[in-house]
Amino acid sequence: MSRQSVIMCVLTIVMVVYFGFALTVTARMASRDTLTGMEVRLSDPSSRFVSVADVVAETGIDPDTINRCLRSAFDLRSLEEKLNASDKLQEANVALLADGRLAVDVTPMVPVARVFDKGKPSYYINASGKRISAELRYHIDVPVLVGSFDSVYPAQRLLPLLDYIASHPGVGAMVATVTQERDGNIIIVPTIVGHVVNFGDTSRVEEKFSLLRSFYRNVAPVKGWQTYDTVAVKWRGQVVATRRDKALPPVPLPTVEEQTGELDINDNETVAKASDEENA
């Protein structure tokens, strides 16, 4: 055998031994390459609705045994999908850090209303209409929706109204409860007791609240706060009030000109009329 052949055989043997050793070491290292921990980060650390412990519970992972999970076998996508499906979380992102820690970044659900649907357990909804279980261990101070909700008139349909109320503190101070009747009419129970407001639907929200404020400013103080049991602003450009005492003859509400000379609504547009509805 030539010297060159001997050298080739030796190199081949060395390479086989090296690859065998490398594969053994790599396999051993891979078996030890496990998660080192889990870090949960809330976008709103002050959230009263979701805590770090809640998120850990939603993951289904025991922090005490996480170091037994192999990095290579851990399914990040499944965990992320699971968290995004949770009714407590608005959004979740999961990543594996270089040091082996599992990073879980979540945005807690932000309830905008609590819904009381007749005959059903109450629940919260967020701005996109996602339902959130109402648990006894916490209470969130949000507007209350009461009434009948179905596929035709779902609770989500009231979200534009709730959004307007939330973004206008002056309006929010006027509203105690929002209800929905079976026919879809939205009824507002104001903080001013003694009457309710028939809001109709969620169209022309700003105009309707402007009409209501004008009624409170120009009509109610003159006619009396207990004169009417229902104030309807559902029709464009007018307020229709229903008398509390139906036995009394109807007394026309004073016109805008009689009250103040002008009633400014939506950049000085004048309301057409404000009238009573005796037999509504």
- The one-letter amino acid code at 101 reads R
Give the range with max mean pLDDT: 61-65, 118-122, 230-234: 230-234
CATH of domain 113-277: 3.40.50.11690
**Residue range 86-102, pLDDT digits in tens:** 888 888 999 988 888 89
- Overall fold of domain 37-108: Ubiquitin-like (UB roll) (3.10.20)
| Model confidence pTM above 0.75 | no
- How confident is the model at residue 36, as a pLDDT? 86
| 54: CB partners within 8 A, 6+ apart | 88
Computed on alpha carbons and rounded to an integer, the radius of gyration of the chain in Å comes to 33
Instruction: Tell which wins on pLDDT, 146 or 127.
Output: 146
- How confident is the model at residue 160, as a pLDDT? 86
Give which of 78, 130, 123 is closest to 108, Cα–Cα: 130
Residue ranges of the domains in the chain?
37-108, 113-277
- How confident is the model at residue 255, as a pLDDT? 45
Rounded Cα distance between 187 and 237, Å, is 18
The answer on pLDDT for 275 being more than 50 is: no
What's phi and psi for 120, nearest 5 deg? -130, 155
**Residue range 169-185, pLDDT digits in tens:** 888 888 888 888 888 89
Q: Are 270 and 235 in contact (CB under 8 A)?
A: no
In whole angstroms, what separates CA 266 from the centre of its chain? 29
The mean pLDDT value of the chain amounts to: 77
